[in-house]
Amino acid sequence: MSDERARSFGLAASVYQSARPGYPVEAVSWLVGDAARVLDLGAGTGKLTQALVALDREVIAVDPVEEMLEELEVQVPGVPRILGTAEDIPVEDASVDAVVAGQAWHWFQPERAVPEIARVLKPGGTLGLVWNSRDTRVGWLREAGEIMHERHDASASFEEYVAVGPPFGPIEEHTVAWTARMTRAGFLDLVRSRSHFITADASEQAATLAALDTLLATHPDLAGAEELAVPYLTRCFRTRLGR
C-alpha cells in the first residue's frame, strides 16, 4: 500500500470500523481450519481479528497503519498488535499455524509477500484470503456501484488476485452468501470507507453521496424502506505451505 493510501486509511479508521461489515463465522472457520495461532495480515481495525477471537484462536494483528491498529485495540482489546507489512512481517520464523488477509491481498506485492508469509508459517500451515463483496446481481447495488466508480471487484478475478504459487500448493475456494442489514446512513458510511471515496476530492465526494442519496430514496426496490438488506458474497481462498 502506498504511503498516501496508508495515510488516507488512517484518517478514515473510525468510519471504516463502524461501516464495514464483519465476516460470517462459516467463512472464517473454513478459512483457518484447525489452526490455533493465526496471524491477521493487513488487519486494519480488526474485522477479521474479531471473528478469529470469537472462534477462540490465538491471534496476532499486523498492519502498516498505526491509526488502524489503535482502533483495533478498542474493538479487540488484548490482541497483540504489530506495525508491519506483508513484505516485512516482524514475527519469528515458523511461528504461526495460519496467515489470513481480509480485504487486503490486492494491496500486497506478491513477489515479496509470498516468501515472507512462507517464512512465518509452520510447515503445512495455511494461507487464507477473504473478501466481502456486495452481490451486484441485485439491481440497485449494481447502480450504486456505477455511481461509486467501483472498479472490478478484487475477489472476482481469480487468476489475477489469488495466484499465490510456490512454495504453496493448490488453491481451494469457498463462497458464503449472507445479508447485512443497515440504515441508509449506514450504507453511505460504508461508501465513505472505500478507498476510491477516501482519496477523491471534496467535490467528487459530495457528488457521489448526493447521487447515492437520490438512488436510495427513489429506487422502486428501496423507496420507503427504513432498513436496507444488502446481500453479500464472502469469497474465501486457502492454500497450504509445503511440509
| CATH code for the domain in which residue 93 is found | 3.40.50.150
Whether 200 is covered by a domain: the verdict is no
Please provide residue 16's backbone torsions phi and psi, each rounded to the nearest 5 degrees: -60, -45
Lowest mean pLDDT among 4-13, 165-174, 182-191: 4-13
CA-to-CA distance for 111 and 134, rounded, in angstroms? 29
User: Cα separations (Å) of 5 from 92, 114, 141?
Assistant: 28, 22, 25
Looking at residues 141-153, what average pLDDT do you find? 76
Contacts of 141 (CB under 8 A, 6+ apart): 134, 135, 230, 231
In a domain, 127, yes or no: yes
This prediction has a pTM of 0.81
- Contact (CB, 8 A) for 155 and 236: no
Is the pLDDT assigned to residue 212 strictly greater than 70? yes
Beta partners for 174?
236
Alpha carbon distance, N-terminus to C-terminus of the chain: 30
- pLDDT score of 80 more than 90: yes
Residue 173 lies in a domain: yes
Q: Which of 127-141, 172-186, 217-231 has the lowest mean pLDDT?
A: 217-231
Residue 137 covered by a domain: no
Structural domain includes residue 192 = no
- Residue 10 pLDDT class (50, 70, 90 cuts): very low
- Domain presence at residue 61: yes
pLDDT above 90 (res 200): no
Is residue 233, in this structure, part of any structural domain at all?
yes
- Tally of domains in the chain: 1
Residue 42 lies in a domain: yes
pLDDT, tens digit, 9 for 90 and up, residues 87-104: 999 999 999 999 999 988
Strands 81-83 and 58-63: parallel
* pLDDT given at position 91: 96
Which structural domain range is residue 78 located in? Answer: 3-131+152-177+229-240
